């Protein structure tokens, strides 16, 4: 399409694909959408982007990135569900860490969401110092939808673009890059520097009242018991207390109130800057959502954990999002679908696996919720992922983990580059250090022990010193 041209969009559901060529020195970019009435948003909830990934009507959502030679960031739009008063949906892009003059092959495509057929494509060229672009727009004409190529650039970034359309942007300074957290002097000894993979924290043993009788102490069983187990299940070392009544929990990211400014910032954890304090970032309460999303270059196939045909996940790949936890009183356990252990937000362990994502079929990935109202009850949480089915290992898989603390900046980290047969990967370690919750990016692939191809999760428990007893699980069902 030429700039200014338009084409009909006859199908009810479309995918908007923002794409560009990856390479050294190329910044990242983010797709966004603004729903307009009379050229302006009605309120800040009409802005769909990485910090606010779904419109309240459910008609527009930000689906996230796919890495590769061509990087893709996707929006999904159900035109039949768009509210009648909405006249235009602006499709925008913003550069993260550079300008659009550094991009090659920047384009936007409109695709039929049902069959992937291309409806429209606009290639944006000639950019220089722009840091945001309106690439195109979906608009109504006489009861039908059309797409127009726009190509209008902004030097003022996503904030300037959004403000032009009536968004109230939080003008607080953008948070600095995440810094390596240096804990203050503590009573616990420092982790041994020679330990590999990732560093360990030493913890005092739990109080006597939570120790199991000698007859029930878990002993490491002989290696032959773990030959290609269908799954592992972790026995919880505590009893659930009686049900108590709690106030309704809040979840992040919540729909923004009409007058609240939109926060455009995000924190990216990398190998160079792997840690950030949740507490100092303002995450002091409410429910923090941990989201795992993924793409794969591997062809869809069966041959999963139980040799079945894949039920969901990107490209037929189904990843499980899991965690180990240790509470302040020394109790340990897991939140993991294969263990039939889905957790609880208002009772120990104050962590819960999202029920909607237990099969891996959700387009929004896998979600784990952590109740930060009980920060004092946590000692450490290890977040990891396992391949359930659809791939032999993590090679060709690109995963993105995003933490959404309530009323605080989202924290993002990526996982890719697997070079071996690992089917398990440690994503993040959350630790309570003298009352301050610190999250550290791990990004470590875990190979199973020699001769035990299904025992990667047991290897995670061994490396990170979670002393479990194991038995075969029943699958997710």
Using one digit for the tens of pLDDT, what is the confidence trace for 375-417?
Answer: 999 999 999 999 988 888 999 888 889 998 987 888 988 898 8
10 Å CB burial of residue 420 (0-12, 13-18, 19+) is: exposed
pLDDT at 223 over 60: no
Q: What pLDDT is recorded for position 188?
A: 47
Tens digits of per-residue pLDDT, 102-159? 999 999 999 999 999 999 999 999 899 999 999 999 999 988 999 999 999 999 888 8
CB 304 within 8 A of CB 388: yes
Q: What pLDDT is recorded for position 339?
A: 83
70-93 mean pLDDT:
94
**pLDDT-derived band of residue 170, with 50, 70 and 90 as boundaries?**
low
Higher pLDDT pick, 122 / 26: 122
**Range with lowest mean pLDDT among 236-245, 255-264, 418-427, 432-441:** 236-245
221-238 mean pLDDT:
44
* CA distance linking residue 425 with residue 460, whole number of Å: 8
If we measure between CA atoms, which residue out of 11, 28, 4 comes closest to residue 137? 4
CB 347 within 8 A of CB 377: no
If we measure between CA atoms, which residue out of 312, 313, 315, 314 comes closest to residue 299? 315
Tokens of 64: 């996230």
CB 130 within 8 A of CB 100: yes
* CA distance linking residue 218 with residue 468, whole number of Å: 7
Tens digits of per-residue pLDDT, 72-81? 999 999 999 9
* CA distance linking residue 134 with residue 152, whole number of Å: 5
* CA distance linking residue 67 with residue 61, whole number of Å: 19
pLDDT at 162 over 50: yes
**Range with lowest mean pLDDT among 3-12, 57-66, 207-216, 229-238:** 207-216
* CA distance linking residue 208 with residue 220, whole number of Å: 22
What residues have CB less than 8 Å from 409, skipping those under 6 apart?
175, 263, 265, 266, 267, 281, 282
Three-class DSSP category at 132: strand
Q: What pLDDT is recorded for position 18?
A: 95
Q: What pLDDT is recorded for position 322?
A: 94
* CA distance linking residue 239 with residue 331, whole number of Å: 10
Mean pLDDT of the chain: 78
């Amino acid at each position: 399409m030429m700039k200014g041209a338009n084409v009909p969009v006859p199908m009810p559901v479309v995918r908007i694909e923002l794409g560009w060529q990856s390479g050294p020195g190329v910044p990242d970019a983010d797709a966004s959408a603004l729903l307009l009435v009379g050229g302006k948003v009605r309120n800040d909830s009409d802005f769909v982007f990485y910090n606010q990934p779904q419109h309240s009507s459910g008609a527009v959502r930000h689906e996230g990135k796919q890495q590769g030679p061509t990087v893709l960031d996707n929006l999904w739009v159900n035109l039949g569900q768009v509210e009648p008063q909405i006249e235009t949906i602006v499709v925008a892009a913003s550069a993260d860490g550079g300008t659009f003059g550094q991009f090659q092959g920047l384009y936007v495509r409109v695709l039929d969401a049902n069959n992937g057929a291309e409806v429209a494509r606009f290639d944006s060229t000639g950019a220089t110092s722009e840091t945001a672009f309106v690439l195109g727009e979906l608009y109504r004409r006489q009861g039908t939808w059309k797409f127009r190529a726009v190509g209008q650039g902004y030097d003022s970034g996503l904030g300037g673009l959004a403000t032009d359309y009536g968004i109230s942007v939080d003008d607080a300074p953008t948070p600095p890059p995440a810094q390596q957290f240096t804990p203050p002097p503590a009573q616990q000894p420092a982790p041994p520097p020679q330990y590999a993979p990732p560093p360990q924290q030493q913890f005092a043993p739990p109080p006597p009242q939570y120790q199991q009788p000698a007859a029930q102490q878990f002993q490491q069983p002989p290696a032959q018991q773990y030959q290609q187990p269908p799954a592992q299940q972790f026995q919880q070392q505590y009893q659930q207390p009686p049900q108590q009544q709690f106030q309704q929990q809040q979840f992040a990211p919540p729909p923004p109130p009409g007058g609240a400014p939109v926060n455009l910032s995000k924190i990216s954890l990398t190998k160079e800057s792997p840690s950030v304090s949740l507490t100092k970032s303002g995450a002091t309460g409410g429910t923090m959502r941990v989201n795992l999303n993924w793409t794969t270059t591997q062809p869809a196939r069966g041959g999963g954990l139980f040799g079945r045909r894949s039920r969901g996940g990107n490209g037929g790949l189904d990843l499980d999002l899991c965690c180990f936890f240790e509470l302040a009183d020394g109790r340990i356990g897991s939140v993991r679908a294969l263990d039939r252990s889905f957790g609880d937000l208002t009772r120990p362990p104050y962590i819960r696996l999202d029920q909607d994502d237990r099969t891996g079929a959700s387009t929004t990935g896998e979600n784990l919720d952590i109740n930060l109202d009980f920060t004092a009850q946590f000692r450490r949480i290890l977040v990891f992922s396992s391949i359930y089915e659809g791939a032999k290992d993590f090679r060709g898989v690109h995963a993105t983990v995003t933490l959404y603390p309530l009323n605080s900046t989202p924290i993002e980290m990526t996982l890719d580059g697997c070079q071996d047969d690992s089917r398990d990967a440690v994503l993040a370690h959350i630790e309570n250090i003298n009352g301050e919750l610190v999250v550290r990016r791990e990004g470590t692939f875990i190979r199973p022990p020699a001769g035990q191809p299904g025992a990667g999760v047991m290897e995670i428990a061994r490396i990170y010193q979670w002393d479990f007893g194991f038995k075969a699980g029943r699958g997710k069902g």
